[in-house]
Amino acid sequence: MYETIYLDNAATSYPKPASVIAAMHSALESAYGNPSRGNHALSLSSAEAMCWVRESVADLIGLRDSRRIIFTQNATMALNMAIFGLIREPCHVLISDLEHNSVVRPIEELTNRIGIVYDTFKTEGDIEQNIRDAMRPDTRYIVSTLASNVSGRIIPLHVLSKIRRTYGVCVIADASQVIGHLQIDLASYPIDALCAPGHKGLFGYMGCGFLALGNETEPVPHLYGGSGSQSLSLAMPSEYPDRLEAGTLPFYAILSMGYGMAHIKEAGLRALAAKVETLTHSLCGDLAEMAGMQMICEGNLGIVSLRHVRWTPDQMSEYLNQNGIYTRSGLHCAPLAHRTYHTEKEGLVRISISSENTAAQIQRARDVIFHMTKAIK
């Protein structure tokens, strides 16, 4: 009997660190009320916990004002809130050639709704120059991932921040694959909106994410409803985060994100990233020597995408699945990225590594892949 090995951490991280699991066991046995919904002790204690998580997020990404951290269910919801809440008039928008559908679909929808026009900028080579080349006089927004979920290719925050400062455009960034892996410093490199999940690099449970807003960013609310404040007003409250957080929050998922960030703080973000980098290098070195294997791995984020001359990505992923190794094949909801890499026809098999993986697990994955390349289908 073999140990199952989870290598789909770019979709959601698993397992969560032991400290997160222990803290959540304890939280589930504790009494919590609905945060910001009454002044009884249980509502207050859960609102205190939410405030702690909010401050932890702000601290992690260098945002001075934690009120401008808006909790969401995931990064997609945060991106929808930023894109639909900020882009309100016809204009030109730039997106990268690596975008996930969480960006492409809302942007495409805005072409139908309000008549925006959009183009992609290339991410190969000099990204800053590529963006400058793609800018038009009527470009008002740049919506870009900070790293591809297919290849790990990085679009540096400092480049986007510089373009924002130079051209006065509004920048919305998707940090789904870098949060918890790379240091994000919005104090040094401000942008208008940063969207991220809590259940990937931050080790929270599925159902949480956040939108971080710049000091002057004022999106129109995406959801309307109860906030626990200014209840006599028929409009959403003016104060943040209440303005953008209608309805009951996914409290336990958000709490788990807080424990995940505590784990990162304790272990050190750089130390965790270095472990992922070491595991990734060890896997890539051996895969590169396997006959018929094509590999895409950039950015040291633990993302390694593969295809093989004899095996389709779906066949490879199923072979690995039957051997207890969990990867993801297909287009990864990122058709633009696959077009960029010319892999849109069959897709790729994506292996995504976390700091919770071990060298022994990577060794076994490598051995199974090696056997697969030798096996008769």
Partner 1 sequence: MSSRIFSIGGMNAAIRARRYLARVKIESEVIKIDQRYAQNGCQYGISFDDKDLYDVVRTLKMGAIPYHAYGDGDV
Residues in touch with partner 1 (CB under 8 A): 35-36, 38-39, 43-44, 47-48, 50-51, 54-55, 65-67, 227-233, 237, 239, 241-242
Of the pair 97, 242, the CB lying nearest partner 1 is at 242
Of the pair 231, 322, the CB lying nearest partner 1 is at 231
Helix axes 313-322, 359-374, angle to 10 degrees: 120
Of the pair 242, 356, the CB lying nearest partner 1 is at 242
Of the pair 229, 323, the CB lying nearest partner 1 is at 229
Of the pair 201, 258, the CB lying nearest partner 1 is at 258
Contact indicator for 70, 94 with CB cutoff of 8 Å? no
**Neighbouring C-alpha atoms within 13 Å toward the C-beta of 129:** 3
Smallest Cα–Cα separation from 291: which of 374, 353, 360?
374
Return the SS3 of 201.
Answer: coil
Minimum distance, C-beta of residue 189 to partner 1, in the bound complex (Å): 22
| Torsion (CA) 133, 134, 139, 140 in degrees, nearest 10 | -90
Report DSSP letters for 225-283, one per residue: S--SSSTT-SSPPSSTTGGG--S---HHHHHHHHHHHHHHHHH-HHHHHHHHHHHHHHH
Minimum distance, C-beta of residue 49 to partner 1, in the bound complex (Å): 10
Q: Which two tokens stand for residue 199?
A: 């259940």
Give the Cα-Cα-Cα angle 343, 349, 352 (nearest 5 degrees): 120
Of the pair 34, 363, the CB lying nearest partner 1 is at 34
Q: Which two tokens stand for residue 375?
A: 């096996």
Minimum distance, C-beta of residue 52 to partner 1, in the bound complex (Å): 8
Return the number of other C-beta atoms located less than 10 Å from residue 106's C-beta.
Answer: 19
Minimum distance, C-beta of residue 229 to partner 1, in the bound complex (Å): 3
Minimum distance, C-beta of residue 36 to partner 1, in the bound complex (Å): 4
Of the pair 141, 251, the CB lying nearest partner 1 is at 251
Of the pair 55, 109, the CB lying nearest partner 1 is at 55
Minimum distance, C-beta of residue 228 to partner 1, in the bound complex (Å): 6
| Torsion (CA) 371, 150, 204, 47 in degrees, nearest 10 | -170
Contact indicator for 160, 142 with CB cutoff of 8 Å? yes
Minimum distance, C-beta of residue 252 to partner 1, in the bound complex (Å): 18
Minimum distance, C-beta of residue 76 to partner 1, in the bound complex (Å): 24
Give the Cα-Cα-Cα angle 267, 209, 97 (nearest 5 degrees): 100
Of the pair 229, 282, the CB lying nearest partner 1 is at 229
Q: Which two tokens stand for residue 369?
A: 């892949």
End-to-end, the C-alpha distance of the chain in Å comes to 23
Minimum distance, C-beta of residue 165 to partner 1, in the bound complex (Å): 23
